[in-house]
Amino acid sequence: MSLLPNRQAMRRTVNACLALPLLLLAGTAAADGDGVWKGGDNVYAKVCGHCHEAQVGPQLKGRQLPPPYITAIVRNGFRAMPAFPASFIDDNALQQVAEYLSASPAPATKP
Ligand code: HEC
């Protein structure tokens, strides 16, 4: 019985370590297994939104950020934000999500 708390602690640690890879796997699954994204809003909803709609990353919509700025950050990473390589988000899908975000209005209600 005295082992139980240790097992729970270990499980919590393992869960925490698995969180980011699972998030990335969820993004892959969102491409419906064929590696094709369904446009900029799809990439945003399935990848960026996990952080940028959850107060983990800053709000991106409604700021008219230049697409080249967005694509550079996604490819290279930026401080707390991980980089996403072309094997995960291809150039075409990245261009689409950058243009989508650049043109999107700010959300009606602030989160
Ligand atoms: C794992 C969480 C996470 C994901 C997923 C993520 N971002 Fe970020 N992003 C961040 C964080 C955190 C920052 C702020 C980094 C800092 O200031 O330390 C950031 C910053 C940015 C910035 C700079 C914002 C500014 O104020 O200048 C852009 C642009 C950006 N992200 C675009 C994207 C796009 C596009 C995607 C999807 C392809 C994406 N991010 C996915 C966490 C994430």
pLDDT tens-digit profile of 55-77? 999 999 999 999 999 999 999 99
- C-alpha to C-alpha distance for 17 and 12, rounded to whole angstroms: 9
Query: Is 111 within a domain?
Result: no
Query: Is 110 within a domain?
Result: no
List the CATH number of the domain containing 99.
1.10.760.10
Residue 79 CA, closest ligand 1 atom number: 18
- Domain total for the chain? 1
Q: State the catalytic residues.
A: 80-81
Query: Is 15 within a domain?
Result: yes
The predicted model scores a pTM of 0.78
Q: What are phi and psi of 17, to 5 degrees?
A: -70, -25
Among 23, 53, 78, name the best residue to mutate to test ligand 1's pocket (greatest count of ligand atoms within 8 A of Cβ). Answer: 78
Sign of CA dihedral 38, 50, 25, 68: positive
pLDDT over 90 percentage in the chain: 63
Q: How far is the CA of 4 from the centre of ligand 1 (A)?
A: 39
56: buried, middle or exposed (CB in 10 Å: 19+, 13-18, 0-12)? exposed
Residue 95's domain comprises 3-103
